[in-house]
Structures are given as structure tokens and as C-alpha cells.
Amino acid sequence: MPYQVPEPKIFACTQSTALGKKIADAYGAELGKIHFSRYSDGEFQPSFEESIRGARIFIIGSTNPSSENLMEMLLMLDAAKRASARHITAVMPYFGWARQDRKDKPRVPIAAKLIAKMLETAGATRIITMDLHADQIQGFFEKPVDHLFASTLFLPYLKELSLDNLCVASPDMGGSKRAYAYSKALESDVVICYKQRAKANVISHMELIGEVTGKNVVLVDDMVDTAGTLTKAADLMMERGALSVRAITTHGLLSGNAYEKIEKSQLKELIITDSIPIEVKSDKVKVLSCANLFADVMHRVHHNTSISSKFLM
């Protein structure tokens, strides 16, 4: 009889349980059982409630703050390693702490590098993630990294809108590569915003490089936190004669008064994925699920088939 590859086991960290269930359903599997013991001081201990010896397992969990989300992932990886799992893949729809990817001033950490080493030390033999804040973070790992792009979700949605005079925009200089990739796929023009920050999450000045008069603009970015950059860029573009401004951002952190800014801004629509669990508090916010994308890639990884078709950018 031909050898049958055993099906993998899929588990989810606490805050990613809803997305984990969607991914498991799309994969055609049941979400594995995890029990968390918690002490009164806040310490917790995960326990796999089924055998994983010799199995390929996928642990799904975004590591956005609080740091408990990262700690959950690390403890589950360590538990899987000590339970003799054969392959341990950390599926991280959102790789948190990635904005600290270099020393931009003296005496600061490179948190993204630190976390990469922590994940590997804990037991991860492979990483699957989506739209890293900086592509070079892949180089912080010694293990294979499958870096997926949410463009596989956003591009079909944008094409369905059939917008005339479409123009792709980057809200900052760092996102210009992403904007050019979208513009190539959509055969559109590109404009770039140049911004200066007074401090983290506070913009002191913004200028527009390019022409948006009479165009339907789509801002593209990897994440939206306080929404200050996106809303300021949208208002500036409408002042410069744009017909409409939408934004697509992979990771919807939406902290602080982000929803208030979105509601007051001239953004027509903000499209995000469910890489981070959020409670949508605005009719302007639309969520596209990344569950099918991750389930498909996990299936391909398990059966050792190519995933290059998922790299549209």
C-alpha cells in the first residue's frame, strides 16, 4: 500500500482562536484541543490535550501587544518541542514588534531580531506570516519563512470595484515598493506621501509627491495603528482634487482614537484583514478574511508543493 502522509494537527493561541477555527475549517480539519492553566498572579501554562508525538503541527497566533500573545506562542512552541512533535510551524498572520527592525537611534533594541531568535529557540521549525513590516525581517531567521502577501486578497476586491482613473498611493516613503507593486498589477499611476514625525504616532508635516486631481485613490500600507497617517493622507488628497480615497491595510491594529479619526476623515473605505481580532466600530471599515489563504499555504507546506502562486508581490 502507498504511504499515506498523516494529516497535520492545527492549534490556536487564545486571541487567535476565531481565526484559527476559520483556518482549520478551510483546511478541512478540527482545531486541536489546548488547555490553559492560569495562576492568580497572571502566569499561565498551555497544555496540549492530545498526543502530538511525531506529528506536523501548526500553531496559529498573531503576536500583537500585549506581550501575552507572544508569550503564549513561545510557551506553546516549547510544549510542542518537548512533546516530540516532528515539525512545528508558527503561523503568525501578524508578526508583532516588527516596527523595531533596526537601530534608528542609539541605545534601542532590534526587537524583531530578538523575537525571531526567541521563536526558533522555543522550537519553531518554520514560520508562516503575512505582510511583514519590512521584508528583510525574513533574514533574521535561520529557519524557513513563508512570507505571504495580502495582495492576493485585496487585488480581486479592488478589481471588482471597477474604479475609473485609479491611482495607487503610499502613505510614506517606506511603502513605495508596495505601492509600485500594486500599481503594476492594477496598471495605474502612483503617488507617494512624504511625512515627518514629531514622535511615534504623531505626524508633524506631510507632502504629496504626484498628481491626484480627478482620480480615485487607493492608499496601501501594511498596518493601520492610530490611523493618523492614513486619515491625514486621505484629507490631503481630497484637498488636492481626488475624487475618492480608499485605504487597504493588511493589519488592523486600530488603537487609541483610530475609529474617531476614520469617521471624521474623508476616507471612503478602509479594507483590512482579520489577521488581528478586532471589533469593527465603523461602517467605513470592511474586513476580508485571510483564513483561506493560510489554509491553502499550510496544505501546500504539509504536502511539499509549491506556494509561489501566493506571492503576487
> Which residues are identified as catalytic?
195
How many angstroms separate the Cα of 182 from the Cα of each of 135, 156, 159, 176, 223?
16, 11, 11, 10, 16
The CA distance from 76 to 132, in Å, is 22
Where does 136-214 have alpha helices with state H?
A: 151-161, 176-186
Largest CA distance in the chain: 69
CB atoms within 10 A of CB 299: 17
What's phi and psi for 216, nearest 5 deg? -95, 115
What angle (nearest 5°) sits at the alpha carbon of residue 127, between those of residues 125 and 133?
A: 150
- Residue closest to 87 by CA, chosen among 2, 144, 130: 144
Q: Is 31 helix (H, G, I), strand (E, B) or coil?
A: strand
CB atoms within 10 A of CB 191: 23
